[in-house]
A and B are shown apart, each in its own frame.
Chain A
């Protein structure tokens, strides 16, 4: 079990830095994880993406398709990649406190 320390707070994470206990997530955690990824301040667009990912995961136990992210938030694909430099999986899903998605991500 790895741990990740951000600004004095310690989190249990997997080797890729995803929360091992997704239920430990809250908005403060999201903001801290985002800062760790170089997102100094989460703006409304960041929050819209992260909250939608979180809600979908809580309902369906999986991350939403990026199509849903775009269509429900009104953001363009390229905007999402710019908002989260590590991409929707390693970036946004991690900030939303999800376990790491399977596959080549």
Chain B
């Protein structure tokens, strides 16, 4: 491995790193409590996957270059040189065996932000050009085309028109619209590109909810993609570029509230990371669609038929929306409003297990086999609830859950929150 490449990776620790990074890198006491919190360790029993080991590989490289003992007596303090072997092992552990779900961070006895350190390791690998090809190709599509599936704008608009026609037919009113690029509306709504490309029913579902609530809203044909896979690849420049486009579009369309579609990491990247990427506070309001739907119910703007769903429903909490995003009670408030037989998974909420598809795993074919092994943890959780419908406010989770359903023969239906709510709405 060339020195220039290694130096690029080490730049992440430039000047010894910032206070937060140094504190977390130097604090792990190797108690091992994080082991059982991790779906990779839980599903495989392989102790390479214990979160502390993921911290250790990043910390050992840090020690090698930024501590006295590490520089002069590396073996004594288990400091590791950043070379091809170390980098390959980092790729395997930090990209291939972590969904950045942050459950280990919650369980850490001393509060080490393990997910943040994994992210830092990913940033090093990104600087070195070592992001797994399939993940990088998703980022590249977003950077080059404006959405992570490379959907041409004309085809996007045609799909929205089609969904609008279906919706006006279903509701028998021309008032139920899907507005595109309309300036000065209150809400700019966002989408995950997989909705227009393959699963547009969630678009018409949300449009139906907006119609029922008499919301002032629009979509943008230029920038609608809520995802930000650069957050997972660790490339902060690309993450900033993608986030900035959404800020600019809010400005262009003069909307006052950005409403985030059901997307865990997109919510994380836009709501919690983008002010840091852009180094300024939000000039507009940001809300998830889950919070907005809860508000509509609370304020009496929409009413739901509590006879609509008789079967048992359970909820999968997306890590980046719930544990890492603070939206926890709103989805329960919604479900308790109209689902008679709502069953919690165990554990749930901020302690919920990841579906196994987070952290870019769903995009990375390289680690498919491992991903479907970790999925067993979620499959078992779902099975125990006995629920027939699993709702999850995250398209990425929905896709992983759909695969889990197939692979583990659970015989369930998987739905987004908007789809479930739209089916029960009383007009």
Partner of B198, one of A15, A62, A66, A71: A66
Given A15-B366, A65-B158, CB of A100 within 8 Å of CB of B134: yes
Residue from the set B194, B197, B396 with the largest chain A CB neighbour count within 10 Å: B197
Partner of A88, one of B198, B366, B367, B368: B198
Partner of A65, one of B196, B365, B368, B369: B196
Q: How far is the CB of B180 from chain A (nearest CB, A)?
A: 15
**B306 beta carbon closer than 8 Å to chain A:** no
Interface positions of A from 56 to 88, Cβ below 8 Å from B = 62-63, 65-67, 70-71, 77, 85-88
Given A66-B199, A77-B201, A90-B403, CB of A105 within 8 Å of CB of B365: no
Given A65-B151, A65-B158, A66-B198, CB of A85 within 8 Å of CB of B399: no
Q: How far is the CB of B12 from chain A (nearest CB, A)?
A: 26
Q: Is the interface of B mostly helix, strand, loop or mixed?
A: helix
Contact A104–B365 (Cβ < 8 Å) = no
Contacts across chains A and B counted by CB atoms under 8 Å: 91
Partner of B200, one of A2, A77, A105: A77
Bound Cα distance A38, B406 (Å):
10
Q: How far is the CB of B342 from chain A (nearest CB, A)?
A: 24
Q: How far is the CB of A99 from chain B (nearest CB, A)?
A: 9
Partner of B395, one of A2, A88, A104: A104
Write the chain B residue with the least CB distance to A92: B198
Give every chain B residue within 8 A of A100 (Cβ-Cβ): 134, 365
Contact A85–B406 (Cβ < 8 Å) = yes
Residue from the set A14, A15, A90, A105 with the largest chain B CB neighbour count within 10 Å: A105
Query: Footprint of A on B, CB under 8 Å?
Result: 134, 137-138, 141, 148-151, 155, 158-159, 162, 192-194, 196-201, 227, 263, 362-369, 395-396, 399, 402-403, 406
